[in-house]
Structure 1
Amino acid sequence: MTETVGDYLLSRLRDWGVEQVFAYPGDGINGLVAAFGKADNQPRFVQARHEEMAAFSAVGYAKFSGAVGVCMATSGPGAIHLLNGLYDAKLDHVPVVAIVGQTARTAMGGSYQQEVELQALYRDVANEYCIEVNVAEQLPNALDRAFRVAQASRTPTALIIPADLQEAPYEPPQHAFKQMPSSPPGTAWPNPVPPEPAITEAADVLNAGERVAILVGQGARRAAAEVREVADLTGAGVAKALLGKDVLADDLSYVTGAIGLLGTRPSYEMMRDCDTLLIVGSNFPYSQFLPEYGQARAVQIDLDGRFIGMRYPTEVNLVGDAAATLRALLPKLNRTENRSWREKIEKNVADWWTTMDQQAAVDAKPVNPMRIVHELSKQIPDNAMVTADSGSSTNWYARNLRIRDGVRTTLSGTLATMGPAVPYAIGAKFAHPDRPAIALVGDGAMQMNGLAELITIARYQGLWTDPRCVVCVFHNNDLNQVTWELRAMGGAPKFEESQSLPDVDYAGFARSVGLEGINVEDPRDLASAWETAFAADRPTVLDVRCDAEVPPIPPHATFEQMKSVTESVLKGDPEAFHLMFQGAKTKLQEFLPGRSR
């Protein structure tokens, strides 16, 4: 049988070690779909319910595996639907290859059905590499470069293949003028280290500091041991950007937790009072949560020189691999004998966790959303993978979830799009089918697309050696994050028509598609619900009815934000009395550490 372009494409994907392609079919990729059939579904065609979810699953797979995620869609609308997931990959620096169909070459330019100028459409999201393949001989080089650029630049790339070419006979490139060969997959990536003088200069800055703070992001994930050593020598505390939440465990006494609008009080206070700042693998954008300009001398380490020295006026910029650079730096650091700064940070952290425990125990109607994550922290498996969606539930994930060594976490950190938590979890399960996955999802995101992807989970659960995939829904019938933003930033009361959601039985839907579903309306049932979910022999949906009026306002909220909330209530917020009462009860716990209620 003649090998087609589609057949060769799948063969080359196997050479790249691709085991699954997250996709949705359409006639613009019929030649590729037929090739999957002839190849006995190797790599596996994982059918999402929507192309956007296929892209999110590829992003989740890439985030948790460290390998390139692959997604595929048909021409026109299918290619358009991939875009949000691909932008999520671009902004979080995740390697994803998108393979999309296109109108047959014979019809191009003729306003044919589903003809969209895909190269123009993808020019921004796949700006590092986007190519349309128009002859078979072009394919190996184009596909290999898509993978190599995605890996090297940690970015999405795109391969556009017209429908008629997919079914054409494959011809390899010739040793001829204007034909491009390609070497087989396999690249050894370097671990670059900055020059010795720059390392020495950075050490001098850190050694001179008396109150050192460290900020880590996802780029420090493979440098956790080195970060701990630097923190030990300098007596520093370590704050974490959201994408770096799993870099260090929260049971380390000097780890202050998340930073920023969703951050903790210890992180805020450490940045407010430090005299030296070390940033490792983070492009945290909110400079108002970093030290005041001129307050601290700063050093930054990042693998990508394009994103260095742009968030804070750093004195020394080290472009290199985080772990390798820190290993070169460590022998030049002096141990700080005065540990008063570290002791202050440790006391603030201990007090903070006491406050979090107390806030989670505050009564609410019916369940305090903080308690959902509080109970999860007690029972989370040591090798769990946690995905968080965008919304008010992200606050509780950021502040209340205590990470232990071995737990991996992620979310849409930069795009902050709604809807990725469930498809992320699907991608995570394909990356590590022997590990449990947990998705923390608001009911808005669940209605947007999470419900449909429960069908995908039900379909593929049999492939996972560990069947546990727990989707926890924060069920408050409100688009809660925007509701609070209206109150805190605009001084406007909740607008019911835009903010209220239809009531849905998420656990009931889960049971209808063959998953386990647990409804929780009493906080006393939360612990046993998590226990049941982690003991289940199938994926589970926890449908927890929680209070929409527990304020996600950060502990370092400004006077203007608090004033705006008060003004919004006075303007006639529908939950005015309950909102103020719940907010006062919650905020009070910050001033009564250790007191029982």
Structure 2
Amino acid sequence: MGRTTVAGSTRTIADLVVERLRAWRVPRVFGHPGEGVALIVESLHRAGGDPAFVPSRHEEAAGFMASGHAKFTGGVGICLATQGPGALHLLGGLYDAKLDSKPVVAIVGQQTHSALGSAYQEIELPRLFSDVCSQFLRIAAVGEQVPYLVDQAIRTAVSTRSPTCLVVPHDLLGQAVPDGMPHPDGGGVIAASPGLPPARVVPHEQDLNAAAQLLAAGQRVAILVGQGGYGAADEIVELADRIDAGVATSLLGKPVLDERLPYHTGVLGQVGTEASAQLMAGCDTLLMIGTNDPWTGYYPVPGQATAVQIDIDGSRLATRYPIDVPLIGDARETLRGLLDRIPARNNRDWRDTIEIAVDRARTESSARADAPARRVNPRLVLHELSSRLPVDASVTVDVGSVTYWYARHLQLPPGVQAHLCGTLASVGSALPYAVAAKLAASDRPVFALLGDGAMQSSGLAELITVAQRWPEWPDPRFVVLVLNNGDRGGRAGDPDPEERGAVDAPARATGAELDRPAGSGLPTPEVVRTGDIPYAGWARLLGLHGIRVDRPELVGAAWEEAIAADRPTLIEAVVDATIPLDPPERPFADLRGLAADGAGADAAALQSRARTLRERAAHGANLG
């Protein structure tokens, strides 16, 4: 006879799954109820919130919530889905976690063993998840396996910074826990135990010495910071000041450093700034810190710069640019090792040149935000938030033109966390991220930045989740910005509006048309077709606060009203779809002409210097 719970009911394998999650101190599980995982959901409810179950409107949102939880907390995100289409819908969030290197565990239901081969909603789950969860994918066959498999799924996700998957058939979940199994910290077949102590990873001494020599020898050093630089801001700034380097960030690395630094050129790449492109084009030495930024067209020309790369994952080294000294290690520990080896020096010509480029870029950015537009300039909306963003805020960003405006026009105060679906670039991730961020720190304000396409993709549904949960939050500040440009198809990377057609061209079909019966009182097909969907009205219908902004003079006041509101607020900014995205010019020209002394160097001279440094390094010469 199986063990019984405190309430007297039989303790099942589903209860055992929940107990293992509690042993790992998992705070919450995101999911969408379904037959295949119904017993786990029931067990979570019996657990009384330890861990809590957070139901989403759709499994894809649950996957993004789990990924968002991992990004904002540094812990492991857990998502739950039933078999068949439920499992399919998790893939977006799991691929997001895989490509951005975050630990997520998917627990997926399956039909009973006896029905496999001809079951309703049957999908070959091992084949479905074999790529995205390649580090760990198991199907539980007997109850004695379950504690070990749950532990290994979590341990592998954390240690490899990737998603893992455990499939548990429905009939197994309902079985009683055998009497011989320890309670609740062991399996009857294989011992299981929670916990994974963090490791300290630093490069070898000789590699640190080689890297320090290269960086000390550089006359025009550029530092590119990615999300792997989190927690190392002080060391990055100290090193940059010591060698008078300029600093750019990847899109994912934007929150790492204080963006007000005079030598911080901003984000690199198509969504980035001209100053960052110019920094890369003019450097002779490149230090990459925790970044796998894909915009290789904006890196220095191969051969132009000697390069050092720091990354905790050795498989990412030298995948974006030829690297002379690769360093496997934690960013903070590795930078401390370099600082011990690199003396301070004065190279003000290069630093002055960079700061001139930064000043010019910031002046141009402000001018673009203030430029007149039809209704509201979308750049202005993000620009006006910069001075009002609380220092303890969390920010989530969706995919689309809003990504450009966030990268260039929102200046993040130090300490503000900001995350987006950076590498997968899947529309509809920001609001699920925001829910996860708020649940992880309900006493902090959260800002979700979306376009109208993302809002239609998942935001309209997941706003229901916000409406249901916000009364539990001690701080009700949860602000959703929807940039409504009436062009649901516009995304980052698509041709800019000027390439799609003239300003006064008739509005084209967007795929959002809906038939409405005459006299229904609902938006007409013409209204919906032109993008005039009442997003703020939908928020008010759910009991939230809704603000519609269609004039530039209302923008600042709208942000202030939203931040002061006693409930979550949706700001619908009706913006000009014809504002061009303006990717920075390809960096074929360097920083020449920006400084009074003409501190630039042409590509041939930079490549020649890089070759000399490499030759001297190969012969063991002192590069200092």
**TM-score, normalised via structure 1 length:** 0.90
Which of the residues 509, 517, 527 maps onto 1:497?
A: 509
Letter in 1 for 2:465: T
**1:542 has 2:549 as partner:** no
The answer to whether structure 1 residue 170 and structure 2 residue 177 are counterparts is: yes
Structure 1 stretches of 4+ with a deviation exceeding 6 A read 488-495
Q: 1:552 aligns with which of 574, 578, 581?
A: 581
Residue 142 (structure 2) aligned to one of 132, 135, 139: 135
- CA offset at residue 334 of structure 1? 1.9
Task: Within 5 Å, give how 1:298-447 maps onto structure 2.
Answer: 298-447=307-456
Counterpart in 2 of 1:9?
A: 17
Query: Counterpart of 1:63?
Result: 71
Q: For residues 52-131 of structure 1, what are the structure 2 equivalents within 5 Å?
A: 52-109=60-117, 111-131=118-138
2:232 match: secondary structure: helix
Residues 484, 192 of structure 1: alpha-carbon distance in 2 compared, 3 angstrom cutoff: closer
Spell out the pairing of 1:413-492 with structure 2 (5 A cutoff): 413-479=422-488, 481-482=490-491, 485-486=494-495
Instruction: Provide the residue aligned with 2:163 in structure 1.
Output: 156
Alignment equivalent of 2:154, drawn from 147, 157, 168: 147
Shift of 1:338: 2.2
Paired letter, 1:47: P
Distance (whole Å) between structure 2 residues aligned to residue 114 and residue 489 of structure 1 = 46
Q: Say which SS state the counterpart of residue 242 (structure 1) adopts.
A: coil
Partners in 1 of 2:467 and 2:370 — Cα distance? 34
Q: Render the CA deviation track for 1:482-501: whole Å, top value 9, x for unaligned.
A: 59834589888899234766
8 A Cα contact 1:390 1:412, kept in partner: yes
C-alpha distance in structure 1 between counterparts of 2:345 and 2:574, whole Å: 49
The partner residue of 1:276 within 275, 278, 285 is: 285
The CA distance in 2 between the partners of 1:305 and 1:182, in whole Å, is: 31
Other-structure match for 2:259? 250
| Distance of 1:557 and 1:225 partners within structure 2 | 31
Give the drift of 1:265.
1.0
- Cα deviation code 1:113-151 (max 9, x no counterpart): 111111111101101101111110001111001101110
Tell me what 2:525 maps to.
none
Aligned-residue CA RMSD (Å): 2.0
Distance in 2 of aligned mates of 1:38 and 1:463: 19
Greater percentage in helix: 1
Q: Residues 487 and 510 of structure 2 are in contact (CA less than 8 Å); yes or no, is this contact kept in structure 1? A: no
SS in 2 for 1:497: coil
Aligned with 1:185: secondary structure? coil
1:171-196: per-residue Cα shift (whole Å, max 9, x none)? 3669xxx9742342122121211100
Could you tell me how far apart the structure 2 residues matched to 1:165 and 1:277 are?
Answer: 54
What's the offset of the Cα at 1:69? Answer: 0.6
Opposite residue 170 of structure 2, the aligned amino acid is A
Q: Which amino acid aligns with 1:153?
A: T
1:437 touches 1:470 (CA, 8 Å); kept in 2?
A: yes
**Residue 214 of structure 1 corresponds to which residue in structure 2?**
223
Q: Which amino acid is 1:165 matched to?
A: L
In structure 1, the gaps of 5 or more residues are: 560-589, 591-597
Alignment of 1:217-236 (within 5 A): 217-236=226-245
Q: Which amino acid aligns with 1:270?
A: L
Aligned to 2:557: 528
In structure 1, give the amino acid aligned to 2:82.
T
Q: TM-score, normalised by structure 2?
A: 0.86
Q: Secondary structure of 2:260's partner?
A: coil
Q: State, as a whole percentage, how many aligned pairs show the same letter.
A: 47
Deviation at 1:543, TM superposition (A): 0.4
